[in-house]
């Protein structure tokens, strides 16, 4: 952990282009890829807040298990669109954290999808309270 004090409204953003392999027969991005893009933004958010998933797993054996995922599709993304996926910490509790997301077309900022994921803190396959060393990273004091 880098010892930073993250802002509660801090957002991450990742920018990338839609690959042909991410589209379906109609040339539209296959729906499950939005969840992958959310994961990319969430992973970057954790880095911005001072911890990488890999470091957390290796140092403490702590994992964030997806308990719930939601995605609302607003407009389709298509091959070669430049995408901006953003994530922020929506809420946190001693055993669970929720992230919110926006997926936009970079050109013009058209909203493509919104989403939310909720994660349990797990060690050894069992839910646990978040260890003290990670509480600030996830907005708990």
Catalytic residues, which ones?
A: 24
Q: At what angle do helices 53-60 and 33-48 cross, to 10 degrees?
A: 70
Angle at 132 between CA 129 and CA 133, to 5 degrees: 125
Specify the long-range contacts of residues 131-134, CB closer than 8 Å, at least 24 apart.
131/60, 131/62, 133/1, 133/60, 134/1, 134/51, 134/56, 134/60, 134/62
Which residues make Cβ contacts (< 8 Å) with residue 39, sequence separation at least 6?
Answer: none
């Amino acid at each position: 952990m880098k010892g930073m004090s993250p802002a509660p409204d801090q957002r991450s953003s990742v920018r990338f282009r839609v690959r042909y392999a991410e589209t379906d027969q109609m040339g539209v991005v296959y729906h499950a890829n939005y969840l992958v893009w959310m994961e990319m933004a969430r992973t970057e958010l954790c880095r911005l807040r001072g911890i990488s998933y890999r470091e957390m797993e290796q140092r403490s054996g702590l994992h964030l298990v997806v308990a719930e995922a939601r995605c609302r599709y607003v407009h389709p993304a298509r091959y070669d669109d430049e995408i901006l996926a953003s994530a922020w910490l929506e809420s946190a509790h001693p055993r669970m954290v929720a992230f919110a997301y926006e997926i936009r077309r970079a050109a013009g900022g058209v909203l493509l999808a919104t989403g939310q994921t909720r994660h349990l803190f797990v060690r050894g396959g069992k839910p646990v309270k978040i260890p003290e060393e990670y509480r600030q990273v996830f907005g708990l004091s």
